[in-house]
């Protein structure tokens, strides 16, 4: 009788361990599901349209939550699918809702309330020799964005498929995971010549960029 009770006790302990393992596994799967589908989305770069800043086969992580609480910002790198296409792209936000974007003579011009006469967009993340091909003028409505690849000569972007609706944006790229040599947070971009107030240092950087770009 005692042996039977001992066997039953061992079996009950075994079932308890199995139950705890199943419960822990289910909790981990739930957390993974919530993170994967509501917070973070992995993305593998395909192609060289974002050179020299993002490279083919790089493994990135995308923040899917931020844009539910704030608007996308100029300079942020995003993952999205263009209108009438299901494949995901990676590009940089250049134009914001309410702005007029003009491409002319290899440069990007921004027209908005702060710059009613237009200003050249200083883009420090581009190669010094990079020029933006195309000749167009585009006015963005509410929740519309204009995106470009950093490798302007080899990028399918808003010059081809037009404006990007906000609803098509999957998230903001915030971290490079692989290769390990590129591991790190994606740096924020500032545009000194579009700021209402900026320091002499930032102004000097913008002026130097403009001189090198010419």
List Cα–Cα distances, 34 to 64, 81, 172, in angstroms.
Answer: 11, 22, 17
d(CA 49, CA 157): 9
Kindly list the catalytic residues.
49, 91
CA-CA distance, 33 to 47, in Å (whole number)? 28
Please tell me whether residue 205 adopts helix, strand or coil conformation: helix
Nearest in space to 138 (alpha carbons), one of 187, 180, 96, 105? 96
Q: Is the CB of residue 140 less than 8 Å from the CB of residue 132?
A: no
**Cα dist from 58 to 65, 78, 143, whole Å:** 22, 14, 29
The number of beta carbons lying within 10 Å of the beta carbon of residue 71 is 11
């Amino acid at each position: 009788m005692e042996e039977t009770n001992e066997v039953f006790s061992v079996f009950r302990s075994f079932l308890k361990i199995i139950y705890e393992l199943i419960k822990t596994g289910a909790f981990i799967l739930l957390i993974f599901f919530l993170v994967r589908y509501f917070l973070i989305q992995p993305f593998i770069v395909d192609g060289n349209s974002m050179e020299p800043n993002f490279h083919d086969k790089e493994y990135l992580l995308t923040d899917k939550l931020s844009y539910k609480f704030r608007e996308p910002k100029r300079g942020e790198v995003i993952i999205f699918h263009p209108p009438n296409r299901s494949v995901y792209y990676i590009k940089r936000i250049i134009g914001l809702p309410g702005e007029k974007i003009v491409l002319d003579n290899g440069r990007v011009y921004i027209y908005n309330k702060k710059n009613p006469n237009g200003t050249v967009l200083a883009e420090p993340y581009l190669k010094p020799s990079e020029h933006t091909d195309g000749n167009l003028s585009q006015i963005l409505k509410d929740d519309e964005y204009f995106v470009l690849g950093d490798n302007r000569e080899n990028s399918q972007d808003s010059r081809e498929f037009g404006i990007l609706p906000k609803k098509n944006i999957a998230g903001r790229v915030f971290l490079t995971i692989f290769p390990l040599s590129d591991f790190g947070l994606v740096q924020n971009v500032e545009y000194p010549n579009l700021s209402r107030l900026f320091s002499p240092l930032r102004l000097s950087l913008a002026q130097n960029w403009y001189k090198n770009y010419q």
